[in-house]
Amino acid sequence: MRTDRARPGHAVLALLAVVLLGYAPAALTAPAAEQPKRGGVIRIGLPTDPGGIDPHILTTGQDHRVVAWEIFEQLFTTDAGTKIIPMLAEGYTLSRDRRVYTFRLRQGITFHNGKEMTSEDVLASLHRWVAVGGRMGNLVKLVADTRTPESWLRAADRYTVQVTLTKPSVALLQGLSTIRQGAYIVPKEIIDKYGTRRITEWGDNIGTGPFRLVSWTKDQSIRLARYEGYKPRSDAPVGYGGARVPYVDVIEFLVIPDPAVRAAELEVGKIHILSQGPVSALKRLQQNPNLVFVKGAPSWYDHIYFNLRNGVFAEPRDRAMKLRQAVLAAINVREVAQVSYGDPALYRLDPGYMWKETLWWTDACKEFYNQASPAKAKKLLQEAGYRGEKIRFRTSGDRAELLVFTEAVTRQLKEIGMNVEIAAMDYGSYTKAWFAPTGWELSALQATFRDDPILLPFWASSDIFARPTREQMPHLYEQETRLITEDDLDKRRTILAEMQCTFYKEALHIRLADAFEVRFASRVLRNFKNTPEIFLWNVWLRQ
Amino acid sequence: MRTFLIRRLASMLGVLAVVAIATFLIIFLAPGDPAVLMLGDQADQESVARLHREMGLDRPLLVRLVLWFAQLVRGDLGRSIYHGEPVLRMVLSRVEPSLLVALLGTGLAVVLGVPLGVLAATRRAAVTDRLIMAGSVLGLSVPSFWMALNLILLFSVYLRWTPVSGYVPVAQDPWETLRALILPCVSVGITQAAWLARVTRSAMLEVLLQEYVRTARSKGLRERVVLTRHALRNVLLPVVTVTGIVMITLFSSAVIIEVIFGLPGIGRLVTDSVLRRDYPVIQGSILFVAVCFAFINLLVDLAYVYLDPRVHYA
């Protein structure tokens, strides 16, 4: 057994990334020397009610995470540069063959129902997390025998958990720390009650986090209160990790569907944080001395899927590749982004499939990004012998941001002579169409911020958007398997750069610009950080 | 009268059954999948299938229809797929804000629209008439969402007199309820008042040309008595009909106003549920609105008897 708690290599890389990329979440709203104060209510405007916050299941978006994130915790979390650091775990050891992880739990941690967290809760939580599926859980299934809890999990004692994999993989640690569909720890009795069904009674959302859920009026408000039994870690706060101290008494999430009205509520001081605000209010809010523009990391990037299983972009292989390359060559990303977001403060051009704010960022094969070369595109079309076959471009009509970039890209493709036809559907119908293997050639979507490349939704093993079969493109599956099973950070970074280059060279996907949401915070909030995910521990109110 | 009531109630049941079946079929013929909507771009076949089983969506359409009707007979509207709560509880919790917007909005429309309509009719072709009619065209043309946003900007953001959005139940603080409802009711009331003013004016003009009005005037009655006793009562029939429509429209379809002001009303429940493909809530709330619609129509019909002695229901 060797101790592998704080890999020095990781720390150096994290530091390097921060220094080189100039990104570190800063406290936006407080002088460094200010004394924290307890008390008060923080209010946040949400566009929609998240419905439920079962931490193992739902992923629909920020509205779900921003609430769940204050209530539930994981064994691990990440620092600002997405390096994995312990949270509910003290640390871990890894066996020599890199298959057996032994996690030591922090002692004296209680759930919001007062019960102490022990190995049995962790075992039940980890098994449910994998059993309910989801991208992360499914990756763990590839590297562990998860048929029963006993086949991969063991409680060595009350505070020690052992996890056995069938082969070395980074998927486990990544899953234990990732925010979306991560392995959050909930009491065993809740899992006994629900099994793999969604937690539907709001009172059953019990975690170990700094705030507990006290009321939920559907489609109106969600109220959290400081958990008085919370024991912060003793190490200094860093990124999402270290000591989490709940200073405010109450966090209230108010459902305010209209973005202009959410902005108005921020201006009159009813809410303290505005997320997903209207672009039209950007300038006005920027001029307000009581507010600060929270530009942490991009919330998403716009991207376009090719149908790689059927149609002109799939078969015959050589011609299909030339056609895809023509599309990639034609697109002027800056123009599309300007049309979509209007203000350069809200977008950023970047070739990296992983965001600049992560340890993973690479600009490998950047020459294929934003080529904006209609001449090259036309030549490629000619070489492919394109005869004006219809390209059906699927998008959603009721998500304005998707429709706008679809239209901008369509215009550029029409200019090089492609016969593109937009098929706009309501978002509900569109999500159903994600699983359709035929009937479309291009599909528009947004990839939201992820902390590990295996979570990107467009790799070959993804179930949506007609990814190529193993027979069609075996090399993609081989690369992806290596990315999942390799557990050395440097090697994984190299594999990601390789995959990114394959995607660019073979034009398997179109990445457009990063988009920053219109997120503002009131200066009444102190020590509020500009991290990609909003969190409210360690934040206090000016009094 | 009793026979009439029994017949009307029986026909209402028939209408509701048709509404129930039509809603069920239309919803299930529409594409879209609540499971994928919940899971987002990390959806995989296995999780989707598991959620389908949990929601009962893996059963054949006919089986689901029969099960739903069996539930309905027991007075159970099912559970929301999205929120996990009983549909009836969700619908009932949305009645208060919708009902108050409908009542106060309609009240404002009647108080403003009817007198202005009468005034315009009595000053036909004069400056007052033209001003009122121009105002009503403007009131009808200005979209209520635009008016709502401007009212918020003026009264909530600049003057800070009213809250921007949100709702406080009457039981909690009636004064705050009223404050929260002022702007929404004005936003919808103005448009409806403009419509009522036009309806009242044209009905009044027609009545004023009737012989009994001429007779009343020739008897030497004062103009006010002619208008209120003889003309207005006859104008009320079309006005009551329109008021009924206004009320049910505001109750069930003031979606945009509910979204802008963050009011948890019926209209928002229906549209949110459609976007989420929350089938049980869509079915339940549409059925509920249909029941309300039928009852308000019945009340309007009964009001005819009271307002016009010539109307009889055998």
Name the residue facing A219 among B32, B157, B272 (closest C-beta). Answer: B272
Q: How far is CA B175 from CA A342, B93, B178, B259, B307, in A?
A: 42, 19, 5, 22, 34
Contacts of B274 in chain A (CB under 8 A): 428
How does DSSP classify residue A312?
T
Q: Where are the beta strands (DSSP E) in A256-344?
A: 273-274, 291-293, 300-306
Q: Strand pairing of A390-396 and A442-448?
A: parallel
Report how far residue A224's alpha carbon sits from residue A212's, in angstroms, rounded to the nearest whole number.
Answer: 5
- We find that the CATH architecture of domain A300-515 is Roll (3.10)
Contacts of A58 in chain B (CB under 8 A): 38-39
How many CB atoms neighbour CB A216 within 10 A?
23
Contact state of B37 with A58 under an 8 Å Cβ cutoff: no
Task: State the nearest Cα–Cα gap between B44 and chain A, in angstroms.
Answer: 5
A434 touches chain B (CB under 8 A): yes
Closest by CA to A355, choosing from A25, A11, A23, A63, is A23
State which residue of chain A sits closest to B146, comparing Cα positions: A260
Contacts of A268 in chain B (CB under 8 A): 156-157, 160, 164
Report how far residue B46's alpha carbon sits from residue A149's, in angstroms, rounded to the nearest whole number.
Answer: 19
Name the residue facing B149 among A180, A260, A462 (closest C-beta). Answer: A260
**184-223 in chain A: CB under 8 A from chain B:** 196-198, 200-201, 217-220
Closest by CA to A406, choosing from A344, A324, A339, A472, is A339
Instruction: Provide the residue-wise pLDDT of chain A in tens; the chain has 543 residues.
Output: 333 333 434 434 443 433 334 344 566 666 557 889 999 999 999 888 888 888 888 655 667 888 998 999 999 999 877 789 999 999 999 999 999 999 999 999 999 999 999 999 999 999 999 998 777 787 888 889 999 999 999 999 999 999 999 988 888 888 899 887 789 999 999 999 999 888 888 899 999 999 999 999 988 899 999 999 999 999 999 989 999 999 999 999 999 988 889 999 999 999 999 988 888 889 999 999 999 998 878 889 999 999 999 999 998 999 999 999 999 999 999 999 999 998 899 999 999 999 998 889 999 999 999 999 999 999 999 999 999 999 999 998 878 889 999 999 999 999 999 999 999 888 777 877 888 888 899 999 999 888 789 889 899 888 888 889 999 999 999 999 899 888 788 999 999 999 999 999 999 999 999 999 899 999 999 999 888 888 999 999 987
pLDDT at B62: 85
Report how far residue B287's alpha carbon sits from residue B87's, in angstroms, rounded to the nearest whole number.
Answer: 11
Report how far residue A66's alpha carbon sits from residue A72's, in angstroms, rounded to the nearest whole number.
Answer: 11
Report how far residue A477's alpha carbon sits from residue B43's, in angstroms, rounded to the nearest whole number.
Answer: 19
Contacts of B163 in chain A (CB under 8 A): 270
Contact state of B83 with A197 under an 8 Å Cβ cutoff: no
A537 or B34, higher pLDDT = A537
B94-307 folds as MetI-like fold (1.10.3720)
Name the residue facing A431 among B33, B166, B264 (closest C-beta). Answer: B33
Q: Strands across the sheet with A89-94, in order?
A: A2-3, A89-94, A100-105, A160-164, A153-157
Contact state of B272 with A254 under an 8 Å Cβ cutoff: no
Domain ranges of chain A: 41-295+518-541, 300-515
State which residue of chain A sits closest to B160, comparing Cα positions: A268
Name the residue facing B32 among A51, A52, A429 (closest C-beta). Answer: A429
**49-88 in chain B: CB under 8 A from chain A:** 50-51, 54, 79, 82-85
Residue with tokens 């709560």: B85
Contacts of A61 in chain B (CB under 8 A): 40
Q: Are B144 and B187 in contact (CB under 8 A)?
A: yes
Q: How far is CA A183 from CA A1, B40, B298, in A?
A: 24, 18, 56
Long-range CB contact pairs, A334-337, < 8 A, 24+: A334/A370, A334/A372, A334/A513, A335/A372, A335/A408, A335/A412, A336/A302, A336/A405, A336/A408, A336/A409, A336/A412, A336/A512, A336/A513, A337/A302, A337/A405, A337/A512, A337/A513, A337/A515
Report how far residue A506's alpha carbon sits from residue A525's, in angstroms, rounded to the nearest whole number.
Answer: 48
Q: Which token pair is B189?
A: 């009331």
| Total beta-carbon pairs less than 8 A apart between chain A and chain B | 147
Tens-digit pLDDT profile for residues B184-240: 999 999 989 999 999 999 999 998 888 988 898 898 888 888 888 888 888 888 888
Chosen for mutation from B27, B47, B53 (greatest number of chain A CBs closer than 10 Å) is B47
Q: Please tell us whether the domain made up of A41-295+518-541 is placed in CATH 3.40.190.10.
A: yes
Tens-digit pLDDT profile for residues B59-71: 888 888 888 888 8
DSSP lists the bridge partners of residue A535 as: none
**167-226 in chain B: CB under 8 A from chain A:** 167
| Preceding omega of A316 cis (within 30 degrees of 0) | yes
Domain ranges of chain B: 94-307
Contact state of A51 with B82 under an 8 Å Cβ cutoff: yes
End-to-end CA distance of chain A: 52
Residue with tokens 């070395």: A168
Q: Residue A494: which residues within 8 A CB-CB, separation 6 or more? A: none
Contact state of B165 with A433 under an 8 Å Cβ cutoff: no
Tens-digit pLDDT profile for residues B37-92: 777 666 777 778 877 887 778 888 888 888 888 888 888 888 888 888 899 999 99
State which residue of chain B sits closest to A130, comparing Cα positions: B47
